[in-house]
Amino acid sequence: MNPRTIVIHPGSRRKTIYLITLFVITLTGFAQMPIFKRYYIADIPGLGWLDEFYVTHYLHYLAAAVLLAVVFDGLAGYLLMFRKQYRIMISGRVRGVLLFCLALTGALMVVKNLSGYWLFSQQATIMMDILHIALTVFYLCAALWALVSGKKWIEKF
Amino acid sequence: MQTDISRRQFFKKGALAAAALAVSNVPQVRASERETDLQLATLIDVSRCIGCEACVDACKQSNDAKFPRPVKPFPKMVPARVKVEDWSEKKDVRNRLTPYNWLFIQRAVVQTDDGEKEITLPRRCMHCVNPPCVKLCPWGAAIQQINGISRMDPDLCLGGAKCKNVCPWKIPQRQTGAGLYLDILPSLAGNGVMNKCDRCYDRIAEGKNPACIEACPEQVQTIGPRREILKQAHELASSMNGFIYGETENGGTNSIYVSPVPFETLNQAIDKGQGKPSLKKVKDEMSEANTLAAALVIAPFAGLASAIGRYYKTVKKHASGGPS
């Protein structure tokens, strides 16, 4: 039997992990700016860690690792098993491209943070910072648009 | 069903592995060979310092043009918890770090074999090999030059003070009422500019020594490639049976202090607090995050392995006539 003809529904557990990770990575990403204490959010019981820059930095990296694993798992799973039954929708393509760009700018910033790397000029660093934040905002807008209009990542042929 | 359990196990194991990486006892990362060759460091011979403050005067004079010129009245800060930090009327303060005093003399009275003795030492930015202030600035306003100097860009800094927060010595000092934030959302975002020693990067670019080094009548400080400075520091420490501070602190800095008195003793004797950095042992603040970078490299492969595992399990199940 050709495995590509098997009817399997893409897992919802992966989607749950993806959404939780997306929430954590967005929250810890915005926490890289000194805004949560200023605007009392870190004063909310249980959210004091949002003002701990090293903690949010580690969590951002951890969430990025989980997100990368989930995305690669989902993408490879789609190519191996669901390609013949599902097509990637425009909404999925837009979010996929934005995620790829976010991962790319994020990876460059991780390299920048390693000891002994002066690959990037100050201008390049600023561009990466702004681009990473802008891509996040675009991604959140695209996700909101998909949620409101019921657009999915993939749809059955 | 089998596939789901497998995935759950994968994520559980992945999360555990990542958490283990985060909390594991990561070895202290020390400056690499490459950094040792490229970065300039200063050797501070504490035994020579007489506390005359000639370096403080020279620093103030040399950097006067770089000091902030705040516009008053300051914008009303929203929310009100955001405190104005104004040192513009206290420019003469010289017993701590301020936006107008990037170097000060720290004093410690300690007991030695020769009786009670006052030790003095110049304190300023340590110029870390891998500076958290630069690496974690969310805006790119902090810069590290290839020669190891870290400095703030006063035209870009918004004064959020994250650099001070992540600095193990809390070196950068804020002045409200100056900088880019005044042109963006002065009440809602930012609060001035951060200021600290830039080790006279402009003088070094012209082939001169930093002002504090040039002005010192006792030749307390020496500047040179990090490797040479470390060699000199160890020779000096051996000759005086002394102690070194700054070589391994925060993963390595470019300010190497050599003292005849242990730094633990000095740390207990100095006045510490706002604008008065400690001499405590400092772990490498950036090392854990940089170790986590390895997880980012492994993660895509883990995802691929998970998908391929699911695929082969599905194929196997259907080949043996299992349900679809």
pLDDT tens digits for B134-149? 999 998 999 999 899 9
In B9-38, the residues whose Cβ lies within 8 Å of chain A are: 10-11, 14-15, 18-19, 22, 29, 31-32, 34-35
Average pLDDT over residues B249-262: 96
Among A75-79, A124-128, B94-98, B286-290, the range with the most confident prediction by mean pLDDT is B94-98
Contacts of B7 (CB under 8 A, 6+ apart): A11, A13, A14, A73, B306, B310
ipTM of the complex: 0.86
Q: What does the pLDDT look like over A67-123, one tens digit per residue?
A: 999 999 989 988 998 888 889 999 999 999 999 999 999 999 999 888 876 668 889
- Per-residue pLDDT at B23: 36
pLDDT for residue B109 is more than 80: yes
Residue A157 domain-assigned (yes or no): yes
Interface residue B175 vs chain A (CB under 8 A): no
pLDDT for residue B84 is more than 70: yes
- Per-residue pLDDT at A118: 66
Min distance A110 CA to chain B CA atoms (Å): 7
- Choose the closest CB to A65 out of B10, B286, B299: B299
pLDDT for residue B121 is more than 80: yes
Per the CB < 8 A criterion, the answer to whether B76 and B187 are in contact is yes
One domain, residues A101 and A149: yes
One domain, residues A68 and A99: no
What gap in Å lies between CA B106 and CA A85, rounded to an integer? Answer: 72
Domain boundary (A41, A62, A82) is at A82
Average pLDDT over residues B218-230: 96
Query: Rounded to the nearest 10 degrees, how much is the dihedral formed by the CA atoms of B222, B223, B227, B228?
Result: -50
* Mean predicted lDDT score pLDDT of chain A: 88
Fold of B27-285: Alpha-Beta Plaits (3.30.70)
Q: For chain B, give every domain's residue range.
A: 27-285, 294-319
- Per-residue pLDDT at B139: 86
Q: What does the pLDDT look like over A36-63, one tens digit per residue?
A: 999 999 999 999 999 999 999 999 999 9
- As a residue count, chain B comes to 324
- Per-residue pLDDT at B258: 98
Residue A5 domain-assigned (yes or no): no
What gap in Å lies between CA B278 and CA B318, rounded to an integer? Answer: 67
- Choose the closest CB to B251 out of A1, A69, A115: A115
How many structural domains does chain A have?
Answer: 2
List the domain range (segments joined by +) for residue A116: 85-157
